[in-house]
Chain A
Amino acid sequence: MDMVSVDMKKLNGLLNRAVIDVITTMTGFDVEDDPDCSQFAEFESVETIIGVMAVFGSIDAVVALATDINSSKLIVAYMTGIMPTDLTDEDVHDGMAELVNMLVGRVKADLVREGLDLSITSPFSISGTNIEMVFKDRENRICRRFIAGDVEMFLSVAKI
């Protein structure tokens, strides 16, 4: 079974709900999705941090949650109660990885309930400036933008 036969519309809905649930619960932010956005994150010349996780089984895909470094500090600050200035780089990386872990766990539960068989990898994070994620299969890709005040996040799911 590939991502198309899971029903992209349904998967989109599950991902949307998972991102909003996870970020809202962990940070207290009011998160909204931007239904008009289908582009992957573009943080030109800005340091970006991306939490990443892979899913295998009925769907083989990589899930990435990207945001700029200042937004990620704000997110992790509200998760932990630690002022952004007191957060270490490790805290921020760990926080972004953990958010991806939670949202993939949430979507996995929904899909397993639908009868899919899925395994997940450990989450990790990458950071840098002008990072570009290029996926060969442009058809089976989901890109979503989420906003919470000044915080902007991009979720990208791509079949691998």
Chain B
Amino acid sequence: MKIMTVDDSAIVRKIIRSAVEVLDYEVVEAKDAKEALDILEDEYEDIALILLDWNMPGMDGFEMLELIKKDKHLRHIPVMMVTSETGGENIIKAIQTGATHYLVKPFTIEELTKRILECLGRG
């Protein structure tokens, strides 16, 4: 199975890759929502989790979350928002739209790993 990271920061994608590879998952990277949705069209059956940045150029992460949760092929995939956008209102909005978790940057690699496992139901 694969875990997808959607983030316009290559550094954040690399950090996420490090954590995910330790858990023995393959990593799929996308730099924006458009690229992510293109990949999902072909590979949605292999994706176990999507880690989604909120602030991205073009479609933002929240809009992409809404699309995922409205799509019958994608909505079962757990989504964790990974963002520097803190504040309870955004969290409530994301969770009510169907996000499983909400991770605020900065995060330690331990916290990232733990949240990923929680999203995968292995907590």
Contacts and interface: CB of A to CB of B under 8 A. Distances in A.
B81 to A, nearest CB: 13
A90 B31 CA distance: 14
A104 interface: yes
Interface size grouping (class) on chain B: 10 to 19
B86 A109 contact: yes
Contacts of A104: 84
Given A26-B106, A102-B105, A122-B55, A97 B9 contact: yes
B123 interface: no
Contact of A94 (B9, B55, B87, B107): B9
A43 B14 CA distance: 29
Contacts, number: 52
A85 B79 CA distance: 34
Interface residues of A, number: 25
B2 to A, nearest CB: 21
B1 interface: no
Pick from B11, B18, B84, B107 the residue with the most CB of A within 10 Å: B11
Interface of B: 9-12, 14-15, 18, 55, 57, 83-87, 104-108
